Structure 1
Amino acid sequence: MRLLFVIGIFIMSFSVKSQSVNGVVTDANGKPLNDVMIYNFISKVHGHSDISGKFVLENTKPEDSLRVTKQGYVTKNTTISNAEMLSIILDEKLFLLEEVTITNSLKYLNTISKIDFEIQPISNSQDLMRKVPGLFIGQHAGGGKAEQIFLRGFDCDHGTDINVTVDGMPVNMVSHAHGQGYADLHFVIPETVDKIDFDKGSYFADKGDFTTAGYVGFNTKEVLTNNAVSFEAGQFDTFRTVALFNLLHTENQSAYFAGEYMMTDGYFDAPQNFNRINLFAKYTAKVNNGDKLAVSLSHFTSQWDASGQIPDRAVNDGTISHFGAIDPNEGGNTGRTNFNLQYDSKIDDHSHIKNNAFLSKYDFELYSNFTFFLNDPVNGDQIKQKENRTIVGFQSEYNNKLSDKWLFKLGAGLRNDNNKDVELSHTVNRKTVLDYLSLGNVNQTNLFTYISFDFTSGKWLINSGLRLDYFKFGYEDQLAPTYTNQTQTKAIVSPKLNFLYTENNTLQYFLKLGKGFHSNDTRVVVAQKGQEILPETYGGDLGINWKPFPRMIVNSAIWYLYLAQEFVYVGDEAVVEPSGQTERKGFDFGFRYQLTNWLFWNTDYTYTHARSMDEPKGNDYLPLAPVHTLMNGISVKDLYGFSGSLRTRFLGDRPANEDNSVVAKGYCITDFSVNYQIKKISIGLNIDNIFDTKWKETQFLTETRLANETEPVEEIHFTAGTPFNARLILKYSW
């Protein structure tokens, strides 16, 4: 009898100790908050909310006291009632850098993006890309063409070496008519972006094609904080309007619509006649079992004229102005319609599956003239690049927290691009096709799977991953006399290994190692008969994350990146150009400091040494590879209703050819913005290039011939950067 009594007491004691409490954490608008820490004052245990805001706190019983904390929200203390599901609402508060802690997270740069996103205004898709420290962009086609991207010593052209996504949907276009990896982000309405996930290097198993210099992932909002309508007007006949409307907002469902229209003649001598329409709608639903569904639909269309790249000699002799044009008939039109489905399924308290499926219809037509009258002295060298593609794909990722020390991820996915009538032709006045240089159908499929483990022990986090990509390339040449459908297949394995040592919440060291790759254009693949079609990269980062003072955070790294031999398809000429092995090494430094509750200072500096490994010293420079970049800004947030920033970006001189005998001149540009909030109305002013500096936004060393010349000339050709450009913004929210 005494034994039974002891056993009963033991069972009752075990039952009490094993009690747990379920709950959900949201903000005041009902949006689930992930990574919220819930601490039990009584049992001293803690837990974190998942992507649905839900959490399970072990060894917790009714009447225990909890503390609920998350960066950017007011800490809340609460006592557990007898409710089956504990519902906790956190209120946002004034942003304080002293509350940002360095956590044991592999993607440490996301901490920086949260800070920048909080304190600096975003008014267009170009501002979105500039949130990546060390990333520079250049526009050279009237605002409708994807920007040229520079990062870590790469002239990424329009996206060859940086992976870009929106809500998990790829932005980069494989085997694009204008160039491999073409990433046009203009279909994103900046006001709908909630957060930015980015990092540098190829160290992440879930990131595949084009992730060599790094990746950028944009995530749109699940719910709007309010309705809003804004109007923007400025110089050069510029007008922009944005509307944001909440359509549905309940505890478990939300839906909203966003629309944008923009038009401008631009600052060039020849009017750009640019206009763009963006439509976006998103529906999000939370299911009682913890699942979450998000469906979005967007449509984008744009058309423009462009002045193109102009030669130094024509400006120097007064033939045209700094903002002039040799061929004012350049320009084009493009459009994209997207359907995106995201479904996060909770399996149990320790595991879930993230699913993403997408369908995109895309069209593109671009008219350019890079050489003027070099090849055709009579009609000129205008070319047309055109395509019409359909993209379908999905990605699923299984996450399982096996124990307090082990986190397991397993992912798989598919992407197929069916690109019809990919055209490169010689044209006149955008109307007459004189000659087809290339015309065919591209069908490219990428199957992939990856696995990764996170092992946490004390102050250490060790992440290991392995990724397998399989490609099938198909090209039907419509100019061939007989039907030919050329195909090639290729697979590549990419291992990853990362070490983080977090001394405390103010100091962290990291070493990242990984292999990556970028695919080459399908037309290159079939031309080279499958040789060197997935050039691999090997890279490493060694760095530190440090908070020397409560309101200061410093991140710095030295890095190395090797790129194997590759073949590059030059879409402007329809030719294949081989390049040898290259190496890049450099230094990144980032600095964030909150001087007062309302005043912030940020600086990002990068240095890169980029060289070809197959050329003799002195002839081994990589054309247009950035050497020095610097971004510096002072921002004011919520000072008696005022917010604004003064931001400077500097790009140093860089080689324009292999022996550095021709230099692409750098620039230093300062932008200014200010906004004043009066209840539901805000009035803002944005000024690009406040000091009206004359600068060259993009530059190329090109051989051209003008109409009055008998011999070609090779020299710098450029697109002028924006002069002083002021815009007034009026916004009403309710």
Structure 2
Amino acid sequence: MKNRLIHGLLANVAVAFSLTAVPVYAGGVHGEIEEMLVTDHVANRQQGEAEAASVGTVLSEQIEHRPMLRPAEVLETVPGMVITQHSGGGKANQYFLRGFNLDHSTDFANYFEGAPVNMVTHGHGQGYSDLNFLTPELIDKLVYKKGPYHASGGDFSSAGSARISYFKQLQTQTLKVSGGEDGYRRALLLGGGESAGGHWVYSVAKMVDDGPWTIPDELERDNIFIKHSRGDAHSGLSISALYFDSTWNGTDQIPQREVDAGNLSRYDSLDDSTGGETHRYQLSMQQWHALSERQRITSTAYVVDYGLELSGNFTYFANDPLLGDQVTQFDDRVLFGGELGYEWDLNAVHALDLGLGLRVDDIRDVGVGKSVNRQIYAMDSRASVEEVAYSAHASVNSQWSEKFATVVGLRYDQFSVEVDDKLNAANDGDEQDQVLSPKLSVRFGPFADTTFFVNFGQGYHSNDARGVVGGGVPLLSESEGYELGLINTSLDGLQLSLVVFKLDLDSELVFVGDDGTTEAKDATTRTGLELSLYYRPTDWLVLDVDYTTSDAEFSEGEFDGDNVPDSIDDVVSAGLSIESGKGYYGGLRLRYFGPRYLTEDGERQSKSTLVVNANVGVELSDAMSLSLEVLNVFDREDDDITYWYESRPTPGAALVEDYHSHPMIPRTLRVSVTYQF
């Protein structure tokens, strides 16, 4: 592998190329069957010409009045997605989708303003995806694509991907002040205007929250965002900058036996010094330009400064009865890169899409050590890592007839990693790997308002470079997926979609609760079914229901059973929203995810979890509104997450296998006042 200077030069060439290139066509997604987007305030699905039944776009109107506990819950607009937490509120969330416990988003790729969010060779876990920096009020749209069927999807996208974009222009200023139980406070100022030949959008936010925990969360988030855009749908430029900083205390999962014995309450902790701090500083640029009526070029460039220090204690005194088992993980890096795309409508039937990508992670310091009160006293691992990923993809979109279309795609990815182990030079080294991933999407219809889809694709996820160089883990683990789907719009105002899917992975990354990290395990197979219904019977009422059932199994018999621990089988989400047009609005959301196998043999299962959130709002004047948000309406004592492993809660206690859970918050009220000027 070349040195850092060459890596930086390559990345800067890509950035310069994207800045000087005649820049992105604003309508549609590259190289895929053209999408017709229904833009009224209830549509959250791409319809008509979409390339799969499991592809959709969520618009700002669907997020505006949605009750949410966490910023990342905007992803619960993706049918079947569940967002939870197993520690302090500043840590990346747990993600569940299509039979995956995605941990902190391994195998689901997230992008923000064109920049990747998932972290390779991360201090806590491969693919770590922290979306706590999001400001939901600024989201213009979220485009999601499930499965490895799309040539634009690269690392971590076997289960799917989501791309989040903020508004390019706002004409009013908004001040929103919120307060609630358990010390929750939030102030948000956002807006925009016109100057310097373009549009400006900005936001400044401050949030603090203690939560219901015996040891207060003391969660703080500082968030600043600014974006300048110019041009129109045919040619333009957008540059954005993000500042995000957060600190918090952690309340890790606790053993159920201690709660049953009355030694702990549901909201207690066995280590009052866990927690962390993190930051994300991002600068990104996106350009678009129509070279002619048939040719378009796009470019994206980004640079991200990222850091994390995270202390956790999952087994308490199991390994060290004197000092305890607290560990502190750390990550300090800069990542930068870009993408360049070219679209060419060859004729009335065929369109060509080409893309190039580069990502460089300069990980200056990553590792973990034993700690007390977040102070490391014995380093277990420490390294600096350079990781470079190149990609190229091509696809041909063919509209053979009014009722038959295909997309044939091919993606190439090459990875190079170099590890400098700061504790043991014997673990130094470098590796390279590459993968070629074919893609195919076929659409039939519509026939009597029903469109049918067949999808196939291969994908991959990268593995932690330290495990690759020092532990014999393959750098790239491949996946292969199949999908049959349909969308039906026979009834006025109703959209129904049905999907049957299968996904095979060469290697499963499984979260290890007693270690707090992900571990590469055996090959797996997932099969499942998704059913989604969206109904707008009137202009003021919207109903939606999503149901997903899936089965995840190890396919090669590595364990005393074939169940993938903590994989989710059944998910139901449903909601209604009211937009009266007479000065008031409201919403109700229900989310259920069923019992999950916690061990490979299936002998241990978690309980199911059900939560209902609601909100109601009223416009006091043309400029001011008042809203009430109720989280966990029925005050259920369910758990956000459950694991099964050994722990020792006190130095003299026995080492015992047990359920370890992190509870949902109790019923919580939050009030917001919003003023526009």
Q: Normalising by structure 1, what TM-score? A: 0.84
Q: Is the 8 A contact 1:524 1:567 kept in 2?
A: no
| Match of residue 336, structure 1, among 277, 280, 300 | 280
| Match of residue 312, structure 2, among 362, 365, 368 | 368
For the residues of structure 2 that align with 1:180 and 1:275, how far apart are their CA atoms? 25
Moved over 6 A (4+): 567-572
For the residues of structure 2 that align with 1:327 and 1:524, how far apart are their CA atoms? 29
Please state if 1:401 is matched with 2:345: yes
Gaps of 5+ in 2: 1-23, 29-35
Cα RMSD, aligned residues only? 2.4
Matched to 1:467, the amino acid is: R
For the residues of structure 2 that align with 1:100 and 1:381, how far apart are their CA atoms? 46
Partner of 2:437: 494
Q: Is the 8 A contact 2:60 2:141 kept in 1?
A: no
Q: How far is the alpha carbon of 1:663 from its aligned partner?
A: 0.7
Q: How far is the alpha carbon of 1:620 from its aligned partner?
A: 0.8
Q: How far is the alpha carbon of 1:524 from its aligned partner?
A: 1.2
For the residues of structure 2 that align with 1:138 and 1:155, how far apart are their CA atoms? 11
Please state if 1:303 is matched with 2:247: yes
Secondary structure of the equivalent of 1:349? coil
For the residues of structure 2 that align with 1:643 and 1:412, how far apart are their CA atoms? 45
Please state if 1:701 is matched with 2:644: yes
For the residues of structure 2 that align with 1:101 and 1:144, how far apart are their CA atoms? 33
Q: Is the 8 A contact 1:226 1:245 kept in 2?
A: yes
- Return closer, same or farther for 1:322/1:101 CA change in 2, 3 Å cut-off: closer
For the residues of structure 2 that align with 1:724 and 1:595, how far apart are their CA atoms? 31
Q: How far is the alpha carbon of 1:314 from its aligned partner?
A: 0.8
For the residues of structure 2 that align with 1:171 and 1:645, how far apart are their CA atoms? 30
1:532-571, aligned counterparts within 5 Å? 532-565=474-507
For the residues of structure 1 that align with 2:206 and 2:508, how far apart are their CA atoms? 40
Q: Is the 8 A contact 1:102 1:507 kept in 2?
A: no
Gaps of 5+ in 1: 1-48, 54-68, 73-93
Q: How far is the alpha carbon of 1:118 from its aligned partner?
A: 6.7
For the residues of structure 1 that align with 2:511 and 2:463, how far apart are their CA atoms? 7
Matched to 2:405, the amino acid is: L
Q: How far is the alpha carbon of 1:533 from its aligned partner?
A: 2.5
Q: How far is the alpha carbon of 1:119 from its aligned partner?
A: 7.7
Taking CA–CA contacts closer than 8 Å with sequence separation of 6 or more, which of the two structures ends up with the larger relative contact order? 2
Q: How far is the alpha carbon of 1:615 from its aligned partner?
A: 2.0
1:426-575, aligned counterparts within 5 Å? 426-431=370-375, 433-458=376-401, 459-480=403-424, 482=425, 485-503=428-446, 506-529=449-472, 532-565=474-507, 573=515
For the residues of structure 2 that align with 1:625 and 1:405, how far apart are their CA atoms? 42
Write out per-residue CA displacement over residues 414-469 of structure 1, whole angstroms, 9 at most, x where no aligned residue: 001111121200011113x2211101111111001000000002211100100000
Secondary structure of the equivalent of 1:133? coil
Matched to 2:465, the amino acid is: T
Please state if 1:207 is matched with 2:153: yes
Q: Which structure would you say has the larger Rg?
A: 1
Write out per-residue CA displacement over residues 198-242 of structure 1, whole angstroms, 9 at most, x where no aligned residue: 021000001100011111111111001421000000000100111
Matched to 2:393, the amino acid is: Y
Q: Is the 8 A contact 2:170 2:193 kept in 1?
A: no
For the residues of structure 2 that align with 1:710 and 1:580, how far apart are their CA atoms? 34
- Return closer, same or farther for 1:609/1:695 CA change in 2, 3 Å cut-off: same
Q: Is the 8 A contact 2:384 2:420 kept in 1?
A: yes
Q: How far is the alpha carbon of 1:96 from its aligned partner?
A: 6.8
Write out per-residue CA displacement over residues 149-172 of structure 1, whole angstroms, 9 at most, x where no aligned residue: 111111110011101001221000
| Match of residue 211, structure 2, among 241, 255, 266 | 266
Q: Is the 8 A contact 2:42 2:62 kept in 1?
A: no
- Return closer, same or farther for 1:616/1:152 CA change in 2, 3 Å cut-off: same
Q: Is the 8 A contact 2:38 2:45 kept in 1?
A: yes
Secondary structure of the equivalent of 2:62? helix
For the residues of structure 2 that align with 1:505 and 1:399, how far apart are their CA atoms? 32
Partner of 1:719: 662
Q: How far is the alpha carbon of 1:127 from its aligned partner?
A: 2.7
For the residues of structure 2 that align with 1:338 and 1:112, how far apart are their CA atoms? 24
1:73-112, aligned counterparts within 5 Å? 95=41, 102-106=47-51, 108-109=53-54, 111=56
For the residues of structure 1 that align with 2:441 and 2:367, how far apart are their CA atoms? 43
For the residues of structure 1 that align with 2:470 and 2:59, how far apart are their CA atoms? 45
For the residues of structure 2 that align with 1:121 and 1:200, how far apart are their CA atoms? 22
For the residues of structure 2 that align with 1:111 and 1:298, how far apart are their CA atoms? 26
Please state if 1:276 is matched with 2:221: yes
Write out per-residue CA displacement over residues 600-638 of structure 1, whole angstroms, 9 at most, x where no aligned residue: 110000000111112289711111000000001111013
Q: Normalising by structure 2, what TM-score? A: 0.91
For the residues of structure 1 that align with 2:580 and 2:59, how far apart are their CA atoms? 17
| Match of residue 62, structure 2, among 95, 103, 117 | 117
Partner of 1:15: none
Q: Is the 8 A contact 2:316 2:324 kept in 1?
A: yes
Q: Is the 8 A contact 2:274 2:311 kept in 1?
A: yes
Please state if 1:600 is matched with 2:546: no
Partner of 1:412: 356
Q: How far is the alpha carbon of 1:52 from its aligned partner?
A: 7.5
Identity of aligned residues (%): 29
Q: How far is the alpha carbon of 1:70 from its aligned partner?
A: 8.2
Q: Is the 8 A contact 1:134 1:630 kept in 2?
A: yes
Q: How far is the alpha carbon of 1:527 from its aligned partner?
A: 2.1
Q: How far is the alpha carbon of 1:572 from its aligned partner?
A: 7.5
Write out per-residue CA displacement over residues 323-344 of structure 1, whole angstroms, 9 at most, x where no aligned residue: 1111111100000100001111
Partner of 1:88: none
| Match of residue 687, structure 1, among 630, 633, 655 | 630
